[in-house]
A and B are shown apart, each in its own frame.
Chain A
Amino acid sequence: MIEVRHLSHNFGSHWALKDCSFRLKKGEFLFLSGPSGAGKTTLLRLLFAGMPVQRGEAKVAGFNLNKIRAAEVPLLRRQVSVVFQDFKILPERSVYDNVILPLQVRGLGQLHADRRVRAVVRALGLETRQNLPCGELSGGEQQRVAVARAFVVNPQVLLADEPTGNLDADLSFRLMDLFKQFQVYGTTMIVATHSQELIRRHPEARVIRLEDGMITGANWPGAAIYPASAAAPRAPQPARPSQPIRPSKEDER
């Protein structure tokens, strides 16, 4: 579903991502952990074609991001939903209007779209708030609107950039539980977070640790932890050797 090989990206002289490689299958759940500035957002932006691939290779939901044409980007984004820390919702529009937006973009019939929106809104506990403008909702509710909009299209891939960044611990855990619920539909998910507590609560999930743009740890062999490769950019090498994070039970089998 997602395949990244020797992916590197620089902003001027600064390498935000260096020689990253990993592979995720359909329905797998991955935490991208690491401190601020580690390259998590850069990686996610590359994966939904928010920026062109500079070095390395990336394939997402059947699209080769190295060869993707501008006209194909909307098609990729119909398979890849994104949730941002700052929600990116339209505050003056209602919850319902925000959630139905991706279905309208796809030209889905009103009846069908309406049914799906109501189901997702109910699943996220927003049914009593669906006619309110999003600007009147709390941060947690707005985050749920963003999640509802992401899941209403049954995406093949979900990318979430610090989705719990604005939420308290309890809400964060509930939001992650919701993510896990939607995993049963086969959605491959990548969640960027710097919360170790969140990662600890989901031991079955894949985890990649990013530092200075490099993968310095992973809990399954699908991610390449070693730093430099033949395709790596001429960039500063990681200062310390990477250590694998504890492997998941599935990997041990």
Chain B
Amino acid sequence: MPTVFRLLKQGVLDFSINPWAQFLTLSAVVMVSFLVGLFLMAITTLDHQLSTVSGETSFQVYWRPGQNMDEVRAQWQELRHLPGFLHARTYTPEQAVKEMEGRLGRGMTRNLSFLEDNNPLPATALLTFSPGATDEQDYEAWFNETRKHLWSLAGVEQVSVTPLRDELGQAWNKVNAFVVRPAIIFLALLLGLVVGNTVRLALLGKSNEVEILQMVGAFNWYIRLPLLVCGAIQGLVGSGLALLILRVIHMQIRDVLNFPPLLLQIRFLEPEIALLMLAVSTFMGVLGGWAGMKRS
């Protein structure tokens, strides 16, 4: 056991062989892991979104500007009793102006108070339903009746439909299967290749030591273990740093898409996915190291 610990320690010390190559490899591992993490975050976010909205239908309703808000508020209350109603996000013209102020880009005025007296924005409501229809006919009947009802409300100027439904989910699954997953596998292999090349360099750097170790009767595992540890550390530290960067970025962009009609909150990786990413990166580091030694 002390031998194994000593070899593990040697693996850490081996980082001093070609320090620049090690640093550049670590950077490459961070970048590759970061890309994988971004893909996984996109998958997590879209999967969550689709699992939430699957089978749901959303209507965006716009009232005429200047409509009596007491009357509109009463209508909002009444809409909550429609069949299949799930939830609603409503905006008065004043709330809409505030929302707009928050979303104007740099270099543009963020003070829209001059609109208060003569607000051109309409009252809006994003209504989400889960109709629970048993077949297409049943769904069509519910859909037409609800849309007709929304159009019939006093002061309503426009009703649009957001078709976040199963078709979108199926399309996403195809994209996931044919593009995203292969891309992640490709990136993981790339990570192994990058680490493998560095281990190969390290092996060349310590060729004298390897020759002496072989001469004094060291088994291959004794010679290789420190280099495998080196690869594992590259994978583990690289993906750990990538996760840290992703977390910081996530905290900044979490709500950038969380506005109507998208209402998409970007989600960070689930803990088990993050752990899996660390484990796979470490494993690929070891695998790359092993392949690098085999080629030498």
Q: How far is the CB of B294 from chain A (nearest CB, A)?
A: 14
A107 at the interface (CB under 8 A from B): yes
Q: Which residues of A contact B222 (CB under 8 A)?
A: 105
Report whether A77 and B214 are in contact in the complex, using a CB–CB cutoff of 8 Å.
Answer: yes
Q: Which residues of B contact A105 (CB under 8 A)?
A: 213, 216-218, 222
Cα–Cα distance between A69 and B2 once the two chains are bound (Å): 28
Q: What are 29 A-B pairs at a CB distance below 8 A? A: A71-B219, A74-B214, A74-B217, A74-B218, A75-B217, A76-B217, A77-B214, A77-B215, A77-B216, A77-B217, A78-B216, A78-B217, A81-B216, A82-B215, A88-B208, A88-B212, A89-B212, A90-B208, A90-B212, A102-B216, A102-B217, A104-B3, A105-B216, A105-B218, A105-B222, A106-B217, A109-B2, A110-B2, A153-B216
Q: Which residues of B contact A78 (CB under 8 A)?
A: 216-217
B140 at the interface (CB under 8 A from A): no
What is B's interface to A at a CB cutoff of 8 Å? 2-3, 6, 208-209, 211-219, 222
Q: Which residues of A contact B209 (CB under 8 A)?
A: 90
Q: How far is the CB of B156 from chain A (nearest CB, A)?
A: 82
Report whether A149 and B216 are in contact in the complex, using a CB–CB cutoff of 8 Å.
Answer: yes
Q: How far is the CB of B283 from chain A (nearest CB, A)?
A: 26
Report whether B215 and A88 are in contact in the complex, using a CB–CB cutoff of 8 Å.
Answer: yes
Knowing A89-B212, A90-B209, A90-B212 are in contact, say whether A104-B6 is a contact too (CB < 8 A): yes
> What is the interface residue range for chain A against chain B?
20 to 34
Q: Which residues of B contact A48 (CB under 8 A)?
A: 215
A30 at the interface (CB under 8 A from B): no
Query: 1/0 per position for A48-80, CB-CB distance to B under 8 A?
Result: 100000000000000000000001001111100
Which of B6, B211, B217 lies in contact with A88, CB distance below 8 A?
B211
Cα–Cα distance between A158 and B222 once the two chains are bound (Å): 23
A176 at the interface (CB under 8 A from B): no
Cα–Cα distance between A78 and B216 once the two chains are bound (Å): 6
Knowing A104-B6, A110-B2 are in contact, say whether A74-B219 is a contact too (CB < 8 A): yes
A167 at the interface (CB under 8 A from B): no
Q: Which residues of B contact A110 (CB under 8 A)?
A: 2
Q: Which residue of A lies closest to B211 (CB)?
A: A88
Q: How far is the CB of A53 from chain B (nearest CB, A)?
A: 18
Query: 1/0 per position for A168-204, CB-CB distance to B under 8 A?
Result: 0000000000000000000000000000000000000
Q: Which residues of A contact B3 (CB under 8 A)?
A: 104, 107
Q: Which residue of B lies closest to A88 (CB)?
A: B212
